[in-house]
Amino acid sequence: MDEPRAVRDRLCHGGWDEVALAGVTDLPWDRSLEILAPVVGRLSFGEELELRAVLSRQSGFATQAATFFVDEAWNRRYGRDAETPLAPLIRWEAVQRKAPAAKWPSRFQRGLEHLRDGDSREKLESKERERVVHLLASALCAAALWRPDADEEGKPASVLVQQRIAMGRRLGTLRQHVRNISRMAQFCTVSFGYGWFRQPRDFFDLISSRLAEPCGKHVPRALFNSVIFAEQAAELEEGLRLSKNQGVRNFLKEVESAGGWKTGRVVKKAQPFGVVMILALEDLVMRSAAQAYMRWYAWIKLLKVWAALRWSDLQGIPNDFLHLRHEGVLEGKITRSKAGKRVEVMYFYVAPEAFLL
């Protein structure tokens, strides 16, 4: 049976098309009726049923994909990719700007999360460093700069001899050099047909291509430092090292001193809380009528301020590690790893006088 046109005609005359009606389908019926009352007027029992039927038919617009809104008549006249009235609401670029971004933790970070009190971090770092050293050896071999010593196999010092290419660098430094060396070797292979720079002009072309992207001001110097590291790790002779070429050094200085550099990324820094905000948090914590979750969250914010904790420190404070002494002092300990080589326990204390109110 065809849909009665009394209510639908009033909605269309008032500017309420299918897309607009889809916006009120998720609201309670009383609220939807209140919004549509200036258009549909006073409804009888039958007209109210008609309005319910109209809204139920438009609910699909709120859940269908973008292609659902492009009918065949629109497609024949304007094309399927033409912007529909709903397109600004479902544009993917706007979603990318507003949606929260998450970064998947690395293998090493996931391993750190499973360490317990007293477990050695050095063993985990040593295993990860061996993996990165193997990647460095593969990158140097791909660049035709280094080959493993076959004569050293089986000897007592063979492992250290093969790993000498790391030159005692820290794990984070090795990762950065491995990335840069692999990318430079790939650039040389694609651009010149050989795995590494043979003349200063090759390095100039690499820097020029990076500047055209554009890149940050620190990128040319970082690439040059990786060139120095690769040549030292491969134990090249002094006369064959590109890093010793004075023309390359002069070129790098000119690039760094040139004007027009775009500012690098803005370093995000935690803003200090104002005294008024601290007072507001304390008031919320002590307000018994407030929701328990809001009071708990405000107390967590205050705890970070009192103990000067980082955001990750809270992940290493189980409830059992918080103790309230008889004199009113709050004692806690952090099990998160700090800058040392082992997972250490750090204690913190909050005095009763920490409250400003």
In the DSSP assignment, the letter for residue 319 is: G
| Domain boundaries, given as residue ranges, for the chain | 5-97, 114-257, 275-354
Measured distance CA(3)–CA(233) in Å, rounded? 80
Strands, sheet with 330-334, edge to edge from the N-terminal-most edge strand? 322-324, 330-334, 346-350
What residues have CB less than 8 Å from 300, skipping those under 6 apart?
A: 314
Tens of pLDDT along the chain (357 residues) come to: 344 457 778 887 777 877 677 777 777 788 888 888 888 888 777 777 778 877 777 765 555 544 444 455 555 655 555 544 444 444 555 555 555 556 667 777 777 777 766 566 677 778 888 889 888 988 888 888 888 776 656 555 556 667 888 888 888 889 999 999 999 999 999 899 999 999 999 999 999 888 887 787 888 999 999 999 999 999 898 888 999 999 999 999 888 887 655 545 555 566 677 888 888 899 999 888 988 889 988 988 888 888 888 777 777 677 788 888 888 888 888 876 555 545 567 888 888 888 887
Query: Across-strand partners of 334?
Result: 346
What residues have CB less than 8 Å from 234, skipping those under 6 apart?
A: 140, 145, 146, 165
**pLDDT at 34 (0 to 100):** 84
The structure tokens 């049923």 sit at 49
Regarding pTM above 0.75, the answer is: no
Q: Cβ(16)–Cβ(36) under 8 Å?
A: yes
Measured distance CA(274)–CA(7) in Å, rounded? 55
Of 236, 234, 212, 210, residue with least CA distance to 221: 210
Measured distance CA(120)–CA(269) in Å, rounded? 31
Q: What is the DSSP string of 2-67?
A: PPPHHHHHHHHHTT--HHHHHTTTTS-HHHHHHHHHHHH-S--HHHHHHHHHHHHHHGGGGTS-GG
**pLDDT at 227 (0 to 100):** 94
Q: Taking the CA atoms of the chain, what radius of gyration do you get in angstroms?
A: 33
Alpha-carbon distances, residue 22 vs 54, 57, 63 (angstroms): 10, 9, 9
